[in-house]
């Protein structure tokens, strides 16, 4: 089902940007294991932690660990139910599509190739400042020659919601199970992509 939390009209959306891991694909790294290996607490921003390390050697070692977790999770990626059909539905409406992910390029490409995700425009954390910074959405909007307010960003986590808000875009938060505390700032809560497909005007 979907829950509307704003006056957003889906017929006004002119482009859709997706997060990748946890949104289109079951490909999230084992964040708990990764944080344990890095020696940081639950909830700590992993990329911010890596950047905060005091030496190049320490940062490089930590990044190697992060990259390996990302690669391994991407190798096991599978489609989230309804995500492929949602992409096909939006393509049939001639809406431009893109992916904006915090993942590294190699891992993102592994997931995209493994699943055959038919979206050519992909920005990773090496192409734009990592979410929740809005740069990625702004770069995509420039390429599409659309305003951020015309865009729906679809994601599954706080950073996705913050990124959309920081960019001035709309956000659909995919939460198939528990609804997180921060979800109330989204425009749409989506527990099932098939419901979103049905809700989109013909």
The yes-or-no verdict on residue 11 having pLDDT over 80 is yes
Phi–psi pair at 24, nearest 5 degrees? -100, -30
pLDDT at 68: 80
Whether 101 and 52 map to the same domain: the answer is no
**Domain enclosing residue 42, as ranges:** 31-75
Average pLDDT over residues 166-171: 98
| Mean predicted lDDT score pLDDT of the chain | 91
Count of the separate structural domains present in the chain:
2
The tens digit of pLDDT for each residue in 55-104 reads: 888 888 887 887 787 787 788 899 999 999 999 999 999 999 999 999 88
The Cα angle at residue 83 between residues 77 and 87, in degrees rounded to 5 = 120
Structure tokens at 12: 């006004």
Whether 11 and 35 map to the same domain: the answer is no
Whole-structure pTM value = 0.85
Q: What is the CATH number of the domain that holds 124?
A: 3.40.50.1000
């Amino acid at each position: 089902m979907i829950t509307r939390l704003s006056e957003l009209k889906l017929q006004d959306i002119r482009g859709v940007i997706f997060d990748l891991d946890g949104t289109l694909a079951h490909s999230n790294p084992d964040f708990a294991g990764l944080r344990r290996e890095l020696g940081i607490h639950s909830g700590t921003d992993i990329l911010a932690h890596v950047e905060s390390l005091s030496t190049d050697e320490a940062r490089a070692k930590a990044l190697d660990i992060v990259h390996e977790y990302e690669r391994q999770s991407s190798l096991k990626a599978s489609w989230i139910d309804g995500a492929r059909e949602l992409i096909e539905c939006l393509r049939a409406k001639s809406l431009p599509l893109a992916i904006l992910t915090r993942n590294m390029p190699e891992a993102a490409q592994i997931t995209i190739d493994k699943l055959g995700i038919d979206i050519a425009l992909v920005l990773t954390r090496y192409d734009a400042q990592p979410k929740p910074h809005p740069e990625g959405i702004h770069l995509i909007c420039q390429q599409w020659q659309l305003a951020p307010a015309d865009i729906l960003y679809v994601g599954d986590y706080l950073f996705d919601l913050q990124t959309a808000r920081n960019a001035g875009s709309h956000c659909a938060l995919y939460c198939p199970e528990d609804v997180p505390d921060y979800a109330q700032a989204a425009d749409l809560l989506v527990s099932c992509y098939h419901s979103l497909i049905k809700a989109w005007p013909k």
